[in-house]
Structure 1
Amino acid sequence: MPRFLHLADIHLGFDRYDSKERSLDFYHAFRDVLERFAIAPQVDFVLIAGDLFEHRSIQPNVLNQAQLCLRELKQAGIPVLAIEGNHDNRPYGTKTSWLRYLSDWELLILLEPDNGATGEVIYEPWNPETKQGGYIDLDCGVRVLGSYWYGASAPRAIAALADAIQQLPAGPPHSVMMFHHGLEGQIARYQGALRYTDLLPLKDVGIDYLALGHIHKNYAVEGWIFNPGSLEANSIEESQFERGAYLVDLEPSGIQATLKRDYYQRAIARLQVTTQGQESAEALEELAITTVQQAIQSGKIDPDQAPIVELRIEGQVGFDRLELDIRKLQQQLKQISGALIFLLKYNVDAVAYASPIAEEASRLQVEQEVFTDLLAANNTYKKRAVELAQGLIDLKDRQLQGESEETLYQVVQNLLMAEPAG
C-alpha cells in the first residue's frame, strides 16, 4: 500500500518582519515535519507541490537549509518529487532555477512536462541520466506527474496537460499529479482561482490524487483534490487557517489523507481592544496593557514560547490620535508578552461631534456650537468646552479689533490657566 507525504508552500527564506528567528521558523517547521511524518513512518516518497522557497533569488544559508533537509530524506532512501511554484519558478527566458540546481545534485526530482517547439505539452518519463522528465513511475505502484506555475493561463494549460496524460502508456495502479494553483471559494479576495469544473479534465484522464499548493489554507474537495496549506503562517491573518502536511495512504478502498499539524510552529495570538471614545490616552494605554496581561493569565499567550502577538486597537478616541505614543507602547507590550514580534495596529478615528444647529440660529450661536464641538472632541478640553468656546469667540473679536499679539497671547494664557467654571 503506497504511502506518501504531501507538502506545499514551505517558503524557506521567509523574510517578513525582518527577524532572523522568524525566518528560521520555516526551516524548523520543514525539518520537523519531515522527521515526524516522512522519515519516522518511512513513507515511499515526498511531494513538494510548489514554493519550496520564498524567493527566486535566495541567500546561501537558505539553500543550505533546503540541502540539509533533503539530504536527510536521501539518506533515508525517500525520494522527493517537486514542482516550481509562483515564488520559486524560473524567471521568464531563463533555463535554470534553484529547484533545478537541487535536482541536478540529486536531492530532489523536478518534474516538468516538455513544451515542445510547437507549444504542445509532452510528458516524457524521468531520465536519471539527464535529470529531465515530466513524470515518473515509482516502484511502490504510483505514477507521479508534474506541471508548472501557469498563472492566469491555468484553465487552458489543464486541457493541454490532460491531452498529454491521455497519450501516455499504461502505468502503475495509482496516478498522482502536482499542480500549484488555488481553487475558488476557499479564501476571500483571491483573484484568478480555478473552478472545480476547470480541474475535471485531470480526473477524467485518471488522476486519483491532485496535490495542490499555492493557497495557504488546508482544504480537500470530492476526495481527490487536496491542498495541505502552508507549513507556517506567512502572515498574522493566516494564523486562523488550518494548515499542515498530508500523510496519504493509497488503499484499495480509496484515499486516506490525514492532515498532520503537530510539528514545530511558532505560536501566534491575536487580540483586540475596541474604544468607545470616552477613554483618555492614558486610560487607553492601560487598557492595552490589561488586555495583554489577561491573555497571559488565560493561557492565550505564553511568554516562554516567544510568540507572535498582534493587538488591534479600533474604534473612536476623544483625543488627538497622535497623543498616544504607539512605538513606546508597542515596546512595553512586547516586553510584557515576551513576544518575538509584537504588532500594534492602531486604527482609530477621532470622535466626531455634530450638534444640531437651528436654521434661524445667529452667527454667534453657530460659532459657539462649532467651537464647542471641536473642543469636546479633545479629551483634554471637553470638560471646559462651553467655557473655552466663549473664550475663543472673545479672542476672535479682539483680533478683529486689532489688539496686539502680546495682548492676544495673554488672553489665551489666562483662558487656559483659569480654573474650570462651577
Structure 2
Amino acid sequence: MARSTCTFLHLADVHLGYDRYDSPERSKDFFLAFRDVVHRHAIQNPVDFVVIAGDLFEHRQIQPGVLNQAQIVLRALKQAGIPVLAIEGNHDNRPFGVKTSWLRYLADHGELILLEPSEEEEGIHLQPWSEQARRGSYLDLPCGVRVIGSQWYGSAAPKSIEQLAAAIRQLPPGPEQVILMFHHGLEGQIARYQGALRYKELLPLREAGVGYLALGHIHKSYSEGGWVFNPGSLEANSTAEWDFERGAYRVTWGSGEPQAELVRDYYQRPCQRLRLEVKGKETPEQVTAALLALAEGSRLPAEEPEPIVEVRLVGQVGFTQHDLDVRALQRQLKQVTGALILLFRFEATPVELGSAAITLEEEGQRLQIEEKIYTDLLSGHSHYRKRSVELARLLLDLKEKVLDGQEESEIYAYLSSAFLGEED
C-alpha cells in the first residue's frame, strides 16, 4: 500500500517575549516573524499541521501581551483547521516541581497540542493523546503521520534518547511515518556549545523508526543524514547570530525520505555590520568623522524597517577609549544610520602596545586568539587547569552577552545553566 503524502511546517525557537536592548519594537519583531511565516507557509499555502520544537517563549514567566501574541497566531491556525503540535524547550519549560507552564495553559485551552512523555521509575512512557483530557505523548494524524513529543532533558539527553527509543518500540502499530520533536543540539554546528549531542547518540531513535527528528535549540539551520532537521530561530537573538542561515522547514513527506525546504521569505528586522579599521595616526576627531561618513553611506532606503546596526572600530589608535565621547558618538551614529538599535564596539588597541597589538581581518581569528589567551591564563592556575578550555569558552560567551546588553538576571541564569551542564 502506497504511503500518503503529508505537508507540515517545522518551527523552533520562536522566542516570543524577547526583551533584550529594552526595545518594545525589537520584542515585537519576534511576533511579526512568527505571524508572517505561519501566514505565508502554513495558512496561505496550506499544510496538514505545524510542529514547534521548543522555545515558543523567551521566558518561563511571560507578560499578558506576549501570551496574546501567541494566541493570535495559534487561533489563526485553528481557524484554518491546522493543528499545532509542540514541546517545551529550555526557555519555556516548567521549573522543577512545578506542574504547569504557559504551554500547558495553551494546551488546556485547546490552542495547541502539547505532547509530553511521562517519566516513571522504569523509564519513559508514551501515552496516546486524549482530546478530552488534553494530555498525551503522541498523536496519529489523518494524513498518515505519527508525531511524538519529548521534554527538555539538558545534560541527561543521551540517556533519555535510549529511553525514548525503547518507549517508541513499545508503541502499538500505527503510521510508518514517525516524527519526534526533540529540543537539543548537535555538536559541530556552532562554536562554544557545551553538552551538544554526537550524531551517533541519535541513532537509537532512527533504529526505533523515527524518520524525521524535528530539533530545536540551536539558532542556526542544519540537517544530518536525511532525517535530522533543525530550522534555527526565526529571528536573530544576538549579533553573533546575524550571519546564521535560519528560518522554518516546509516539509513534504510521501514515499522515501522527507523533503525539507528551508523558507526564509518572511518578516525579519534588517541587521547591518559596519567596520572601520584605523592605523594609529588618526585623532579622535578624525575617527569620529570617518565613522559618521561610514554610517551615512550605509543608510537603508526609507521604506525598509529601521535596522539594528553594529559599528566596530578595529586596528590601532593613538589614544584611549576615554578620549572619545562614546555616548555622544553612539547617538550620532544612531541618528545617521536611522537604526532602531545602535551597538558600538571599541575593539582597537592603543598604538603604544607595539608588537603586542593585534590587527585581525576575520572575526573567527579574533575569537580563536581570545580563547587561547583565556585558556593559557586559566591553565596557569591549578584550580582551573582541568577545565581551562571549557571555562575559556564560557568567558567568551559571557563577554558577548554583556556586549549585547543582556540583563544581569539573564546573565546569572546563563551562568547557572552552564555550570549545571545545560547550555542556554
Q: 1:353 to 1:204 in 2, by over 3 A?
A: closer
CA contact (8 A) 1:302 1:337 kept: no
1:71 Cα shift? 0.4
1-structure distance, mates of 2:149, 2:353: 62
- Once the two structures are superposed, residues 302-336 of structure 1 have per-residue CA deviations (whole angstroms, 9 ceiling, x without a partner) of 45421000001122211232110111111111111
Alignment of 1:66-215 (within 5 A): 66-116=70-120, 118-215=121-218
**Match in the other structure for 1:237:** 240
Q: CA RMSD in A?
A: 1.2
Where 2:266 maps in the other structure, the secondary structure is coil
Deviates more, 1:146-155 or 1:345-354: 345-354
- Once the two structures are superposed, residues 208-234 of structure 1 have per-residue CA deviations (whole angstroms, 9 ceiling, x without a partner) of 000000000000111000000000000
Q: Which letter maps to 1:60?
A: P
2-structure distance, mates of 1:211, 1:40: 23
- Once the two structures are superposed, residues 89-116 of structure 1 have per-residue CA deviations (whole angstroms, 9 ceiling, x without a partner) of 0000000000000000000000001112
**Match in the other structure for 1:9:** 13
- Once the two structures are superposed, residues 163-203 of structure 1 have per-residue CA deviations (whole angstroms, 9 ceiling, x without a partner) of 00001111112100100000000000111000000000000
CA contact (8 A) 2:213 2:229 kept: yes
**Match in the other structure for 2:44:** 40
Where 1:342 maps in the other structure, the secondary structure is strand
Deviates more, 1:270-279 or 1:73-82: 270-279
1:354 Cα shift? 7.0
Q: 1:288 to 1:131 in 2, by over 3 A?
A: same
1:347 Cα shift? 2.0
1:348 Cα shift? 2.5
1-structure distance, mates of 2:351, 2:301: 35
Q: Which has the higher contact order (CA 8 A, sep 6+)?
A: 2
1-structure distance, mates of 2:202, 2:176: 21
Where 2:136 maps in the other structure, the secondary structure is coil
Residue from 53, 59, 67 that aligns with 2:57: 53
Q: 1:18 to 1:354 in 2, by over 3 A?
A: closer
1:267 Cα shift? 0.3
Where 1:305 maps in the other structure, the secondary structure is coil
Where 2:50 maps in the other structure, the secondary structure is strand
1:42 Cα shift? 1.6
Q: Which letter maps to 2:307?
A: P
**Match in the other structure for 2:271:** 268
2-structure distance, mates of 1:252, 1:209: 13
**Match in the other structure for 2:309:** 309
Where 2:140 maps in the other structure, the secondary structure is strand
2-structure distance, mates of 1:228, 1:177: 14
**Match in the other structure for 2:343:** 343
1-structure distance, mates of 2:123, 2:80: 38
**Match in the other structure for 2:321:** 321
Where 1:63 maps in the other structure, the secondary structure is helix
Residue from 274, 278, 281 that aligns with 1:278: 281
Structure 1 segments unaligned to the other structure (5+ residues):
356-422
Deviates more, 1:247-256 or 1:10-19: 247-256
2-structure distance, mates of 1:320, 1:256: 55
2-structure distance, mates of 1:28, 1:270: 23
Q: Which letter maps to 2:241?
A: E
Deviates more, 1:216-225 or 1:247-256: 247-256
- Once the two structures are superposed, residues 355-375 of structure 1 have per-residue CA deviations (whole angstroms, 9 ceiling, x without a partner) of 9xxxxxxxxxxxxxxxxxxxx
1:119 Cα shift? 4.9
CA contact (8 A) 2:83 2:112 kept: yes
Deviates more, 1:211-220 or 1:33-42: 33-42
1:291 Cα shift? 1.5
Return the TM-score normalized by structure 1.
0.81
Alignment of 1:295 with 2:298, yes or no, is yes
- Once the two structures are superposed, residues 110-155 of structure 1 have per-residue CA deviations (whole angstroms, 9 ceiling, x without a partner) of 0001112x15211000011111111000111000000000000100
- Once the two structures are superposed, residues 258-310 of structure 1 have per-residue CA deviations (whole angstroms, 9 ceiling, x without a partner) of 000000000000111122111100010011112112323xxxx4454210000
Q: 1:219 to 1:347 in 2, by over 3 A?
A: same
Q: Which letter maps to 2:295?
A: V
1:353 Cα shift? 6.1
**Match in the other structure for 1:419:** none
**Match in the other structure for 2:34:** 30
Q: 1:349 to 1:163 in 2, by over 3 A?
A: same
Q: Which letter maps to 2:81?
A: G
Structure 2 segments unaligned to the other structure (5+ residues):
356-424
CA contact (8 A) 1:321 1:349 kept: no
Structure 1 runs of 4+ with >3 Å offset: 301-304
Residue from 205, 220, 223 that aligns with 2:223: 220
**Match in the other structure for 2:253:** 250
Q: Which letter maps to 1:160?
A: Q
Q: Which letter maps to 1:50?
A: G
Q: Which letter maps to 2:44?
A: A
1:251 Cα shift? 1.9
2-structure distance, mates of 1:147, 1:85: 10
**Match in the other structure for 1:62:** 66
